[in-house]
Each structure stands twice: as structure tokens, then as C-alpha cells.
Amino acid sequence: MSCDFECLSCDAANYKLMEKARNEKIETVWDRAEAMQPQCGFGEMGLCCTNCAMGPCRIVKVSEDGPKKGICGADEDTIASRNLARSIAAGSSAHSDHGRDIAHALYHAAKNPESGYKVKNHKKLISLAKEWGIDTENQDIKDIAANVAKTALEEFGKPFGNLRFIQRAPEDRKKIWNKMNVTPRAIDRDIVEVLHSTHIGCDADYRNIMTTAIRAALSDGWGGSMIGTELSDILFGVPEPHEIEANLGVLKEDEVNLVIHGHEPTLSEAILIAVNDPELIELAKKQGAEGINLVGMCCTGNEIAMRHGIPMAGNFFQQELAIVTGAVDAMVVDVQCIMPALSQVAKCYHTKLITTSPKAKIPGAIHMQFNEEEAIESAKRIVKEAVMNFKNRQGNIFIPQEKSKGFVGYSNEAIINALDKVTNSTAHPSGTVKPLADAIKSGVLRGAVAIVGCNNHKVLHDKGHVELAKELIKNDVLVVTTGCGAYACIKAGLMSKEARGLCGKGLATVCELVNIPPVLHMGSCVDISRILLLLSELAKFMNVDIKDLPVAGAAPEWMSEKALSIGTYVVASGVYTMLGVAPQVTGSDNLTRFLTNDVKDIYGGYFDIESDPKEAAKKIISCIEEKRKILSI
Ligand code: SF4
Ligand code: SF4
């Protein structure tokens, strides 16, 4: 590494582990990013095509010389939009397949006692069953759960009609989607259609390619992700605020450390049951450990933190550093955001890297298939592997002391409950978004911004999230956060109630009255569907469309295809969205203009790009104030 650690991350826990990694000759994401420089300009601009074996083709933009069309004749607009559309489809497929797995788990909970899953939230189950027209009168709860699970699974491949959750959107939004022919139909169909239409010799019109891609993205936000969130709440419980600890300091020297990393709560919930099994705890003690310490990483960490108060060890860029501590006895992973490099790092320590999904095997890792049909037994076998590895620890252990406290688990239900406590229940009905609407209308809150997404070496690790959140709360803008952005915020103390001291007067007063932190943790990346629903309810209550609300989205450090899908469905739902890293589209002027300008006239939302968090905050606040002016509030 050619620069100091401070120019790579703003998390002090990382500096010590980066130094340990350097001394122990362990390569990390930052080393590989440096070795990759300069990155390919064609790829950076979205101008490389490998869609058929006549390629690869690349379009030369930087000089008059060089090809301006691919061998088939595809131009820069076609190539860049096809690449983007395929990435959006991949992102939508990842979230949606997650949703499908949760639906399968719900079905097992209803029909297969061997699975060990149990339906936790009957109220939410019955409410969703009624919404979907499923008979609940005198029905056994397990039959209702099975019918809800089957109906959810049918959303993926139904031959006719549109997705059921679309009905939750405001009327004006549905009209826009219908007019633009982007109303999602069946999740798998909408994703497949992107792949088909971007095959060689199909769609060459960048605007039409984006229409198909927008439909697939909406299938994620208002389909696969929403199914994932709603059914997870039914199966594992609706999140409630918990105070937890975060950062790598949550690892313990005297306990078996099991890091659960990935995305799907079907695995993490079963692992949580297994680590509390008295026989496995006893076994850990026999190996010389004081107990079993379960901690989370990336989105799966968000899932178990918000439902059970399990500590959040670190975000995407900290996964290798967790192993570098030498104190991780097993890192158990399922799908998405798991760096293949982990197996090389794990080899240098005693850590067992355990893959569990047939969708994500890694050479060098141990594969222990996790079966939902016998979830708890599968999980116990995996935990036993971690426990038995404790005695193999070597001498090179260093756990940084850095950890912070904060509150996580603000589901929509939890936010509304918190607000209800400070409203006049005799004058107003409880359980609505009225208090939130009132705070926004009065101007005490200027607006709200969702800060979401990943880590990316193109931006200083965590700085994009933290600096942007600080600027916004200082200006009375409430921040909600998910994914790896949530880790950055909790590590920086922004989810503690003391963070009120960093807020403007209006937001500080709201936080004081409602007893909430100014940055609210709303969960994992699929839980951005919670934010869609909150916006939808707020818009309906205020009798406007989502595009009229003084709100925005921001992904300061995004990197994944899932983030592209999220950004696209958020924009198509009417929300101005700020990106800290430019998408790989800038080689097409037309496509860039479409995404940052033309879509505004169609959907109300549009993309903006700004890597400096302070500048990004200025632009977001100006957008919020413009919306307030139009609403005359
Ligand atoms: S689809 Fe066209 S541009 Fe792409 S690789 Fe094939 S020939 Fe080249
Ligand atoms: S925020 Fe991004 S990096 Fe983090 S878990 Fe989600 S998709 Fe992965």
C-alpha cells in the first residue's frame, strides 16, 4: 500500500488490523485495488461488450480514431445500456431469489416440523393473508402460512397479471408505471426479459432497454425484496429497537467467535438457535472457551441485530480484517458480498471458512450444505465445526478494542409506535404516519434521506456514509439507513441517542421527544422495501405522490449490482437519488443524460452523482427545500 491507512478508511479499528495484515503479508481488498490501477477505461465507461463470441468489442471515445461501433453495429448507447440493464437484472435476481428462499422457509415452517422454523408473527401473517384475499376465517395458522408462502412463490412465475404488492403504491405512481409500461408482472419473467432483450440482435434502443430494466428493478423493490422483508417479519418477528455493540471489538478472546456473513436470515436465525444449544455451549467449554460469541457481518448481521440484538462486527470492507484478528474460529457464509479472497486469508490463520449455499461455493472453503428442511440440525453441525476449531487458535491474535453502541431495529411498525407515544391519542387515531407528516409539514423536520449501500475503494471507507449523515442531521434532515451504510453510522456513534447533540434544533427536539437517535437503522438491503412502504404511506396520507415528498436517497459508497437495481427502483418510485460513485455508463452521453435528467420528467426521481459528501449534502438539501416550496410547506 502506498499511502497511510487513514487515506483508505476512517475506522480506527481497521488501521491496527491493516498494519497486522501488512506485517503478516496478508493481502486485503485495498492492496488488490491498488494493484488494479489504472482500471480499464472501456469498462469504466460501460463501452466494452462481450455479449457474443464475435467480441469483445469496445468503443473508442477518447479520440477520433478507433471503432465507434461493435462488430454487429451496436453503438455506445446500445452497449452501455445493455451492460447496465444486465447488471440491474442480476441485482434484482439476487434480492428476489433471497425473497424466494424466505417464502420456501415459511412453507417449511407451516408444513415441515423437521425444519425447526416457527411462524413468529401471526398478526402480520393474517394481515398479509387478508391483503392477498386468502381465507383466514376458522383456518389453522399453519394452513394460512402455507397459503401465503405458496401465493408469494407464485409471484415469481405467474403467467398473467401484475405483482400483488404494486397495489400498495399511491394511485398516481401506479398510473405513471402503467403509462410507461413498467408495471412489474412476474419477477422471474421481468428479469428474464432483460436478458432476452439484451441478447445480440435484439433491443438496440437505449430508452427501450432502460424501460425493460426499470420493470425488472421494480420487480425487485415492490416484489422480491418486499416478499423477503414481509415474510421474514412473519417468520422471524418484526424488528424492534435494541441497543447493540458494533465494530470488530465485539470479538472475544476467551469465547468461540462465529462470524455469520452474507444475507439470508433463514441461515442466521437457525445458527442463532444452535449457538444457544446447551450441549454446544458445554462442548465449547470443554474446548477451553467461556462460551460461543455469535456476531454478524454485512446484511445478515443487520438481520440478526435488528431482531435479536446480536453485535454487528463489520461491513463489506472489514470481512478480511475480521479474520486477520486471528480470533475468528469460523466465518459462516451464505450468499452475496462474500469476497472469494476470504479463503486465502483464512488459510493464513486457523479460521474455518464455511460455505453453506449451493449458489455460493468458494475454492479452499469447507462446504457444509445448509438444508432448510432440517434447518436447526444443519445449523448445529456448522456451529460444532466452529466450536471444535477453538483449540486450534494460534498465537497471533489481536482484537482491536474499538466498538460503539447504538440502537438498531426501526421497522415501520417500530417508527410508528415510537411516534404514537408522543401524540394525542384522544384527538388522533394511533398507528398512522400522521405524526411524521405533521413534523415534516411544520418544518421541524425538513425532510428525510435514506443512506444505503456498500463500501467501494473509490471512496474513503465509511467516510461517504458518515460525513453525509452528519451534514444532513445538522440541517434537520432525519436519516434512515440500511446495509453497510448502517454499519458505518453505528460505528461513528450516529445511532446513539447522544448523537442528538450533532443535530439541528428541529431534529434534536423530535429525537428528544420521541426518544430516538437521529439516524434510524431500518435493516438490510432487502429492507429498503420498508422505506418504499413508509414513503408510500406518507404520500397517501399527505394526498400527494412519492415524487412530491421532501425526501431523497443516497448511496455514497455503492458497488454491487443489487445497489444498481435498488437505485433504479427508487428513482422509478419517484425519489431523487445521489450516488457517490458514477455507474459505468458515462461512455454514452445519451444514457447518462437519460438517467440524470430525462427520467425526472417521466418518473419524478432521477440520479445525481457527487463523491464529496459535503457537496452531496448541499445538493440533497436543495432538492428537499425545492420540494417543500412546491408543497407550500
Ligand atoms: S453483441 Fe455486438 S458489440 Fe457485443 S460483442 Fe457481439 S458483436 Fe460485439
Ligand atoms: S450494502 Fe452492499 S456490500 Fe453491504 S451487504 Fe448490502 S450489497 Fe453487500
C-alpha 39 – ligand 1 centre gap (Å): 22
User: 585: helix, coil or strand?
Assistant: coil
Pocket of ligand 1 (CB under 6 A): 49-52, 54-57, 70-72, 74, 79, 200
| Interatomic CA distance for residues 475 and 477, integer angstroms | 6
Residue of 348, 351, 370 whose CA lies nearest to 359: 370
C-alpha 100 – ligand 1 centre gap (Å): 33
C-alpha 49 – ligand 1 centre gap (Å): 6
Cβ(29) to ligand 2 under 6 A?
no
Give the residue carrying C-alpha cell 448523537. Answer: 499
C-alpha 432 – ligand 1 centre gap (Å): 53
The domain over range 76-236 is classified in CATH as 1.20.1270.30: yes
| Interatomic CA distance for residues 455 and 462, integer angstroms | 7
Cβ(483) to ligand 2 under 6 A?
yes
C-alpha 200 – ligand 1 centre gap (Å): 7
> What is the residue extent of each domain of the chain?
76-236, 248-392, 410-631
Q: What residues contact 519, with CB distance under 8 A and at least 6 apart?
A: 451, 469, 473, 479, 480, 481, 489, 494, 495, 499
Give residue 149's pLDDT: 98
49 in a known ligand binding site: yes
C-alpha 335 – ligand 2 centre gap (Å): 11
What 8-state DSSP symbol labels residue 632?
A: T
489 in a known ligand binding site: no
The ligand placed nearest to the CA atom of residue 59 is 1
Give residue 2's pLDDT: 53
The ligand placed nearest to the CA atom of residue 74 is 1
The ligand placed nearest to the CA atom of residue 47 is 1
To test the pocket of ligand 1, the residue of 57, 75, 195 to mutate (highest count of ligand atoms within 8 Å of its CB) is 57
Q: Which atom of ligand 2 is nearest to the CA of 298?
A: 5
| Interatomic CA distance for residues 300 and 316, integer angstroms | 11
* C-beta of residue 257 within 8 angstroms of C-beta of residue 293: yes
* Same fold flag, 248-392 and 410-631: yes
Q: Which atom of ligand 2 is nearest to the CA of 562?
A: 7
Give residue 421's pLDDT: 79
Give the sign of the dihedral formed by CA 148, CA 150, CA 153, CA 158.
negative
Give residue 6's pLDDT: 87
Cβ(581) to ligand 2 under 6 A?
no
pTM: 0.97
Cβ(580) to ligand 2 under 6 A?
no
C-alpha 218 – ligand 2 centre gap (Å): 19
Cβ(298) to ligand 2 under 6 A?
yes
525 in a known ligand binding site: yes
To test the pocket of ligand 2, the residue of 298, 312, 491, 521 to mutate (highest count of ligand atoms within 8 Å of its CB) is 298
Give the residue carrying C-alpha cell 427501450. Answer: 208
Rg of the chain's alpha carbons, rounded to an integer? 24
The residue whose CA is least distant from atom 8 of ligand 2 is: 337
Kindly report the CATH number that applies to the domain delimited by 248-392. Answer: 3.40.50.2030
To test the pocket of ligand 1, the residue of 60, 71, 76, 83 to mutate (highest count of ligand atoms within 8 Å of its CB) is 71
199 in a known ligand binding site: no
Residue stretches of the chain with pLDDT short of 50: none
**Per-residue cell: 108:** 417449511
User: 116: helix, coil or strand?
Assistant: coil
Q: What residues contact 240, with CB distance under 8 A and at least 6 apart?
A: 409, 411, 414
52 in a known ligand binding site: yes
Q: What residues contact 35, with CB distance under 8 A and at least 6 apart?
A: none
Kindly report the CATH number that applies to the domain delimited by 410-631. Answer: 3.40.50.2030
57 in a known ligand binding site: yes
202 in a known ligand binding site: no
Residue of 556, 530, 542, 520 whose CA lies nearest to 627: 542
Give residue 534's pLDDT: 98
Q: What residues contact 383, with CB distance under 8 A and at least 6 apart?
A: 258, 271, 274, 275, 277, 280, 292
72 in a known ligand binding site: yes
C-alpha 483 – ligand 2 centre gap (Å): 5
Query: How many residues comprise the chain?
Result: 633
Q: Which atom of ligand 2 is nearest to the CA of 485?
A: 1
Consecutive H or E run containing 555: strand 551-555
Q: Which atom of ligand 1 is nearest to the CA of 74?
A: 3
Q: What residues contact 438, with CB distance under 8 A and at least 6 apart?
A: none
The residue whose CA is least distant from atom 2 of ligand 2 is: 454
503 in a known ligand binding site: no
Give Cα separations from 524 to 226, 232, 302, 463 (angstroms): 12, 11, 5, 19
104 in a known ligand binding site: no
User: 584: helix, coil or strand?
Assistant: coil
CB-CB neighbours of 391 under 10 Å? 13
Query: For 161-178, b where at least 16 C-beta lie within 10 A, e where not — what string?
Result: ebbbbbebbbebbbebbe
C-alpha 201 – ligand 1 centre gap (Å): 9
C-alpha 92 – ligand 2 centre gap (Å): 14
Q: Where are the beta strands (DSSP E) in 121-223?
A: none
